[in-house]
Structures are given as C-alpha cells and as structure tokens.
Structure 1
Amino acid sequence: MMKDKKKEKIRMIRGSASLPWMTEQTVCLILIVLFVSLFFQGMAQASEIQKMSIVEAVELALKYNQDLKLAKNDVQYSKLTLEKEKNDYLPQVTGTVNTTLGQSGSNQNYHTLGAEVFTQLNLFKGFEDKASLESARYSLSSDEHTQTRQKQQVIYDTANAYIDAVQRLQEVEVAQENLTTNRQQEKVIKAFHEAGKVPATDLYQQQAETAKANFDFIAAENTLKVSKLQLAKSIGSTNLGEFDVEIPEITSVTMAPETDADRLIQTAFETRPDLFALEKSIFAKEANIKEAASGKYPSVDLNAGMGSSYDNRYDENFGHQFGDDNIDSYIGVSVSLPIFDRHLTRTRVNQAKIDKQSERLTLEKLKQQIREELGQAVADYQTACESILVSKSRLLYTNKALESIFQRYKMGAANLTELTQARSDQVEARNELIQAKMDEMQKIISIFFYKGDLGLSHLLKEKL
C-alpha cells in the first residue's frame, strides 16, 4: 500500500509538471534544437579566433602603439611652436574702450567714453626672433626624424614579438605530438606488460614520461599565451580578442642581408633617422646660443596709436566730439638698452653651450653604439645560420636513433631508459631547430633595424 501511494504521488507530480501539448516528440525536438543552437554557437565562437599575419600585426601596431602616438604629438607640438615663432614677426594690435559714470559738484550726472587702438612692432631684438625661429625649425625637423625612428622601433619590436609567438606556437605543436606519441607508447607497453614481455617497472616509467609530456604541453601552451600578451603589448591595443599567428612567408633570397659590417656602418651613418634627429638638435642648440646672447643687445620697438573721447558735459554732440574734436594719434620708437641684468645673459649663453656640447656627446655615443650593434648583429646572424645547419643534422641523427632504438626495444634488445632518452633527444633537437630558424629571422630584422632601413616591406614582399 505504501509503495502504491508513492507511485501515485510521483505520477501526480509528473502530471502537474507537464503541459497537455508537451508530448515526448515535442520535448525531443526542443532538445535537438537547443543542442544544434549551442553547437553552432560554439562554432561561431571558435571562428572568432582569426589568423593574424606579421604584416597585419605591424599595421595594427603602427595604428595603436602609444609610443608612436606620443612621437606624433611631439611633432604637432613642434609645428605649433614654429607657427608661434613666425607670428612673432607680426605687429601686435590692441584696442581699448573705457567709460565713466559720475556726478559733478552741481549734482549733475555725467558720463564719458574713450576708445583707443594702438599697435607695437618689434624692429630689433638682438637677433632673438631670428634665432628662435631657426631653433624651432631645427627642433621640428629633429622631432620628425625621431618619429620616423620610433616607427622603425615599433615595426622592429612587433616583428620580434610576432616571431617569438610563432616559435612558441611551434613548440606547442612539438609538445602535443610528443604527448600523443607517449600516450600511444604507453598503450603498447601496457599490452607488452599484460603479455608478460616487459616488467611492470617499464609501464610505471612510461606512465611517468606521459605525465611529464602532458606537463610540458601545458607549460608550452602557457608560454604561448604569455608570448601573445607580449605581442598585444607591442601592438598597443587591448581589443584584439583571440588570435593565432602563422609562420611568416619569407624566402631565403629576400632574407639574405648585407654582412659586410663596414658597409653596414657607413650606410647606417647615412640613413639612421635618430642620427639625423641629433644632428638637427645640435643645430637647434646652436640657435639657442644666439637666442640667449640676444640679451646683450638693445631692443627697438615701433609704437603707433589712435584714440578719441566723448564727455556729455560739453555742448558738442557725440559725433563732433568723438569724430572730430578729440581725435588723438601718435607714432614713435622706443629703445631699451640693457645696462646690468645680473649676469643673466651670460648664464643663459653658458647653459646653451653646455646643452650643445651634451648633444654632440650624445651623437658620438650613438655612432659608437651603431658600430657595436651592427658588428654584433652580423656575428649573431652568421652564428644563427650555422646553428640551423647543426640543428638540422642533429635532428636527422636523433630521428634515426629513435627509430633504431624503438625497433630494438620491441625486440627486447634495448631497455625503456634508452628509448626514453632517445625520444627526449629528438624532441630537444626539434625545438632547437625551431629556435634556430626563428633566431635567424630575428637577426635579419635586427640588421635592417640597426642599419636604419628596416626592410620588412622587402622581406615580406608587402608594403607597410
């Protein structure tokens, strides 16, 4: 009786939870529709992960990178400064209007109105205007060259970050293949153990290797994520979303750089924008010395003005007073002669000379840096080329060794430790070859960057 009551209660609950039109076929159809919609939603999310080429990454960096935007702002600021210095040659015109409301001694209210327009034009200011205009022009040119170099820096950093991400992606693929191989090998060894061909220690050892391969795969994936974050940082945009990288299509012919260090250094001295920026800055500092020395010369200004006034206490009407009777005009020249400025001019001149000397030292330091960078870049490139050859040979031999030891292990002529070591050597050789190839790309880009002619457009056969 108790069981029957429970069954009846369950049927009542089920009946109350269902609707008359909700048949079993309808429920199945709804579940199928939900499953299909969730499946396509997952497919849509997966399709949102786009492939980003190295050219696209560089283009995004040139659009979003904050350092490049700051360099552009410096150029705009220098343009405004130059415009201001040009406007200093124009006369300054000022107009004034004043009015007064009052009461005279006879308790009579009165009001007055006065207006004046006057202008001032500097005729001579100790060559300060000319020197400051010259300094502004050189400063603008310096900032423009600095902006060009910053653009090259952004391309260089982004390309290096992209290539690093490509390397990490290939390392993930190697780790994934190694994990798959170890899992398959674990199944084989387990079958051998169950057949009594190998001891249990081999199975335990292989299970440990599979766990290690799984850890290496997870670590490689995390390293790839960090590398992508670094690439996004170089680009300067936080709205990239999920993206994948791909191996840049760079042929061996277009990748061959100049390897004569002396010629590269000479070319760098003729093309590096940051060198040009410092040279223009030195010219600007020279103009600043002239500007500072202007304080010891007199200043001559031309002054002219015209004005009129009206007072209602006089009998003449507004038109006669303001337009005829009270018109006043003048023109004159004022001369200011410095007598003692508390040695301010001398101090400013000495400071400007020190600034110029510091800029020259910075230029010489940069030239020495260029020599060292290009010399090291050429040596690193040659080392990278040799490293590729060595890595290819090592990978070939490790592949043969792994195949041989695996066949011997199946026949019982080799132990699992030898097989594990051979597989580890083969994985290491694959990663070394990947690193050598990516390192070669980075060294090529470094040569172009240090030369001052970042030829990614030639390397990638794309226009940046």
Structure 2
Amino acid sequence: MIKDLTEEKIRVIRGFTISSWMTNKQIVFLVMIVLFLHVFSWEMAQASEIQKMSLVEAVELALKKKQDLKLAKNSVQYSMLLLKKEKNDYLPQVTGTANTTLNNNYGQSDANQDYYTQRAEVFAQLNLFKGFEDKASLESAYYDLSSDEHAQIRQQQQVIYDTMSAYINVVQQFQEIEVARENLTTNRQQEKEIKAFHEAGKVPATDLYQQQAETAKARFDFISAENNYKISKMQLIKIIGVSIPGDIEIEMPEIKIFTMTPETDTDRLIQAAFETRPDLLALEKNVSVKEAEIKKAASGKYPSVDLNTGMGSLYDNRCDEDFGDQFSNDNLYSYIGVSVSLPIFDRQLTRTKVNQAKIDKQSANVTLEKLKQQIREELGQAVADYQTACESIMVSKSRLFYTNKALESVFQRYKMGVANLTELTQIRSDQVEARNNKIKAEMDKILKTISIFFYKGDLGVSHILKKELL
C-alpha cells in the first residue's frame, strides 16, 4: 500500500493538490472555483484602487454629468423647436378630407328615398396678413433661443467655477494634513527626548505630562485634518454629480490661470462684464423677447387676411353616371378666395394683453438692472478680496519665517534649561498656525483669481485645458 501511495501521481493546480483518483468533473469544478476566486479578488482590488483625478478631469466629468447643465441644454433644444415651429407658420396649411353620407328623404316614396354620397376634397390655407403677429412671434423665438444659449454658457461657467473651487479646497485640506502629520511626528520625537530628560533627572514630571498632552492634541489635529480632507473629497464628488467607486487622489494643478495676475481695475472689469457676461446677455435678450411679445399682443387690433384654395369632387348614387365619370369629370370642382377677418369689439382683450406685455417688459428691465448692480458689487468685492489675499500671503510668509526662527531659538534654550516647555509649546503652536495660514492664503489667492474671471463672465474651459508649467 505504501508503494502504491508512492507511485500515485500528484497533480497541483494553482496551489491545490489533486490526487489521481479525482474524477474529471471534480477537477473542472475545482478549477472553476479557483478562477472565480481569482476574478473576485481582482475586482475587489480594482474597486478599492485609488483613482487619480486631475482638475481637468474633474471639470470635464462635471460638464458631462451635472444635472443643472443638462437642464440648460434641454431648454436650448426646446427653444430651437419653438423657433422651427414659428418658421413653419409661414407655410400654407394643406388638408385633405373624405366622407361618405347616407341620406334619407322621408317625403319621397320612390327608389331615391334612400341614397348616399361620397365626397373628397383637398384645400389649402395661407395667411397673408395677421397683424404682424407671425413676425413678432418669430422675433420672440429668435431672442428666446439666444437667451437660453447664453444661460447655458453661464451655467457651464458656474459648473467650472464650483468644481475648481471644490478641487482647490481638497488641495488645501491635503496640504493641511501634511502640516498636521509633521507636527505629530515632531511632538512624538520631542516626547521621547523629554522622557529621556526626565529619566535623567533634567526636567520635572510636569514637562513630560504636558508634552504627552501636546502629543495627544497633535494626534487629534491630525485626525481632524484627515476627516476634513475626506469631507472635502465627498463635496467635490457631489459637485461633479457622479458616484466614483473607491477613493480619489488629487494633485496640485499647474494651470496658467493660477499664476496669472488678473485685471484689478474695477471700472474696466465692470465694463467688460457688461459686454461679455452670459447671464446679463441672456437677460438683455429676454427684454427683447418681451418687446416682441408687445408687438404680438398688439396684432389683435389689425385685420387678418387668409388665402383659401381647394379642389374636390363627389359621387351621388342617384345619378346614372358611374363612380369614375362623376368623380373625374362631372362633379369635379375647385375654388380660390380671400377671407378677411376684421376685429370690431373684442371686449378690450387686445388692450389688456398689450398692457400685460408692457408690464412684463418693465419687470424684465428691473431684473436686468438688478443684475447689473449685482455685477458691480461682485466685481468690487472680488477685487478687494484678491488684493487682501495678496497681502495675506506676504504677511503669512513673514510670520512663518519669524516663527521658524523663534522656534529654533526657544528649542535650543529649552535644551539648555533656560526656557520652559510652555514657551516651546506656544511657539510651536504658533508655527503650525503660521504654516496653515500660509496655505490658506495661497489657496485663497487662487480662488479669488478664479472669482474675478467668473464674475467678469469669461471663465471657460480654455482656462484649464491650456495648461502651462509653473
């Protein structure tokens, strides 16, 4: 038996030992299990894989998936259909009819008491004049389409602005994590040194306890920074408008708009915004729509002139001729004429519509002026914020420089026993705060630069697709 076991052939399939006495079905089943586990583990690894996402990719994805932008595109398509309808109103309307009628003359007693007729007719109607309503409706459709197109462009700019802002916020949170991590590492190292000093009798136990408390605080700050980073990434994904499996990794974008100096002359910015900002242009087109609606409402006081023409034939079974002769020759007819409809008294409906349209135009003008005032305020605030951000960067750099010097000095004094731990802890806290303030100032300057372009109305995909290295 031992010899038989020695001679038994052993086959190994991907780590599984299969004896020769196993059947083919068992081997196939085992192979399928191995393959399934391999594929399943590969898919799990793919799902948990960290995806790198650049700013360009984030913006492009948001432009494809954002629901608000899809609604804006639908509005444009709807206006295009409306414009097509208004153009088709200039075409004649052609209608064909066919009917069969069974008649009964109760006053007759002959064979013609019951008879039937068949009639077919094709007629066309073309409006020659409708009080300029068709022209006004076409103008309104043109302006309405133009307004929706500008509104779509502004919605696109809004998506780009929101995505860029959220992305920069993620970058800021990531950099603050690095500061918190370095601070935690430094505090842990310092705790080891103070513990050694305490064991050597150089510092009291209170210094060790105080440093342990600072290390715990640094650990808490690091956890909070990580949590803020995760929240900022979730907000970015929410703004993009799509679910992304696994985690994402961002990178500091190297884009021209982040390094260029924007226009800071408020008057020139406002004048440029009045000429280029899409939502303002959309409201201007909307005012033109209301003007066309006034003309359309006023068309009710004019006459309407229509050209009518048609031809047809009929068949009557009481006649001796057969169906073909009656329909093709005997009963064939045609006509052409002009109909005029003149309003005499419409219960002041036209006047009411005109007054309502005028009120709508006044409201549109008020909305337009409100937006112009909003643009003045937004650009004024954006320029002021940008200038403040530039000054904040210089101040934060200066503060960081001197806190680094102070930290180095106090640390050396503490090691010599001249300074106490409270001074060292305070100056280290100031240094961490200075580093975070510098990061915030740099990110804030980027955001304020983007804001100026956005409020000016010329923020577009070209600002992020045309990348230039710093």
TM range (shorter): 0.7 to 0.9
1:325 paired to 2:330: yes
1:137 pairs with one of 142, 161, 166: 142
1:169 maps to: 174
Distance of 2:134 and 2:47 partners within structure 1: 64
Secondary structure, aligned partner of 1:349: helix
1:255: which partner in 2? 260
Structure 2 counterpart of 1:9: none
Larger displacement relative to structure 2 (255-264 or 184-193): 184-193
Tell me the residue number matched to 1:118.
123
Q: Which amino acid aligns with 1:234?
A: I
TM-score normalised by structure 1 residue count: 0.86
- Using the TM superposition, give the Cα deviation of residue 380 of structure 1 relative to its aligned residue in structure 2, in angstroms: 1.1
* Deviation (angstroms), 1:110: 5.9
Q: What does 1:214-363 correspond to in 2, within 5 Å?
A: 214-239=219-244, 241-250=246-255, 254-363=259-368
Partner of 1:81: 82
Q: Which amino acid aligns with 1:154?
A: V
Q: Which moved more, 1:382-391 or 1:444-453?
A: 444-453
Distance in 2, matches of 1:206 and 1:42, equals 46
1:67-112 CA deviation, whole Å, 9 max, x = no partner?
A: 1111111111111111000111111111111124688876998654
Q: Secondary structure of the residue that 2:369 maps to in structure 1?
A: helix
Q: Which moved more, 1:407-416 or 1:71-80?
A: 407-416
For residue 170 of structure 1, report the CA deviation from its aligned partner. 0.8
CA positional deviation for 1:373: 1.5
Residue deviations 1:174-203 (CA, integer Å, cap 9, x gap): 112222222222222222223332222222
Comparing 201-210 and 422-431, the one that deviates more: 201-210
| Offset at residue 52 of structure 1 (A) | 1.5
How far does residue 120 in structure 1 lie from its aligned partner after superposition?
1.2
Q: What is the Cα deviation at residue 285 of structure 1?
A: 1.1
- Distance, in Å, in 2 between the alignment partners of 1:89 and 1:123 is 9
Aligned to 2:98: 97
Following TM superposition, by how much is the alpha carbon of 1:288 offset from its aligned partner in structure 2, in angstroms?
0.7
* 1:6 corresponding residue in structure 2: none
Q: Give the C-alpha shift of residue 455 in structure 1.
A: 6.1
Instruction: Tell me the distance in 2 between the aligned counterparts of 1:67 and 1:361.
Output: 25
Q: 2 CA distance for matches of 1:456 and 1:222?
A: 31
User: Quick check: 1:378–1:447 contact (8 Å CA) kept in 2?
Assistant: yes
Equivalent residue of 1:86, what SS? Answer: helix
Task: Give 3-state SS (helix, strand or coil) of 2:71's partner.
Answer: helix
1:181 aligned partner: 186
Residue by residue, what CA displacement relative to the aligned partner does 1:280-338 show, whole Å, maximum 9, x if unpaired? Answer: 21111111100000111111111122222223343321101221122232222222111
Letter in 1 for 2:90: Y
Change (3 A) 1:169 1:394: same
How big is the shift at 1:251? 5.9
In structure 2, do the counterparts of structure 1 residues 298 and 455 end up closer, same or farther at CA, with 3 Å as the change threshold?
Answer: closer
How many residue pairs match? The answer is 436
1:70 corresponds to which letter in structure 2? L
Q: Distance in 2 between matches of 1:107 and 1:309?
A: 17
Between the aligned partners of 1:108 and 1:348, the Cα distance in structure 2 is 55
How big is the shift at 1:422?
1.4
Give the C-alpha shift of residue 415 in structure 1.
Answer: 2.0
Between 363-372 and 104-113, report the one with greater CA deviation: 104-113
Return closer, same or farther for 1:73/1:252 CA change in 2, 3 Å cut-off.
Answer: closer
Quick one: structure 1 residues 66 and 252, their matched pair in 2 at CA, closer, same or farther if it must change by over 3 Å? closer
Worse-matched range after superposition: 122-131 or 92-101: 92-101
Q: Which amino acid aligns with 1:291?
A: K
* Contact residue 162 and residue 239 of structure 2 kept, 8 A: yes
SS in 1 for 2:336: strand
CA distance in 1, matches of 2:60, 2:273: 25
Aligned position for 1:405:
410
Aligned counterparts, 1:199-214, within 5 A:
199-214=204-219
Structure 1, gaps ≥5 residues long: 1-19
Equivalent residue number for residue 4 of structure 2: none
The DSSP-based 3-state class of the residue aligned with 1:333 is strand
Distance 1:242 1:256, change over 3 A: same
8 A Cα contact 2:257 2:463, kept in partner: no
* Residue aligned with 2:408, SS: helix
Change (3 A) 1:22 1:331: closer
Q: Is the 8 A contact 1:445 1:456 kept in 2?
A: no
Q: TM-score, normalised by structure 2?
A: 0.85
Per the TM alignment, residue 252 of structure 1 is displaced from its structure 2 partner at its CA by: 8.9
Identify which range, 261-270 or 196-205, moves more after superposition: 196-205
Taking only the aligned residue pairs, the percentage that are identical comes to 76
- The residue type paired with residue 388 of structure 1 is I
Residue identity opposite 2:234 in structure 1? L
**Alignment match, 1:53:** 54
Cα distance in 2 between the residues matched to 1:446 and 1:319: 79
Distance 2:135 2:461 in 1: 42
Q: Secondary structure at the match of 2:409?
A: helix
Paired residue type of 2:65: Y
Matches of 1:252 and 1:97 in 2, distance apart? 69
1:86 aligned partner, one-letter code: K
* Farther-moved stretch of structure 1 (70-79 vs 363-372): 363-372
CA apart distance, 1:397? 1.3
Any conservation in 2 of the 1:112–1:312 contact (CA below 8 Å)? yes
Distance in 2, matches of 1:42 and 1:202, equals: 52
Mark the CA change 1:150 to 1:428 in structure 2 (over 3 Å): closer, same or farther. same
More deviation, 282-291/247-256 = 247-256
- Residues 43 and 306 (structure 1), Cα distance of their counterparts in 2 relative to 1, 3 Å cut: closer
Contact 1:93 1:119 in 2 (8 A): yes
Whole-angstrom distance in 2 between the partners of 1:150 and 1:383? 28
Q: Do the aligned partners of 2:48 and 2:245 also contact (CA within 8 Å) in 1? A: no
Higher mean C-alpha deviation, range 92-101 or range 451-460:
451-460
Distance in 1 between residues matched to 2:66 and 2:357, nearest whole Å? 34
CA distance in 2 between partners of 1:65 and 1:379 (Å): 31
1:348-401 Cα shifts (integer Å, max 9, x gaps): 111111111111222222222222221221111111111001101111111122
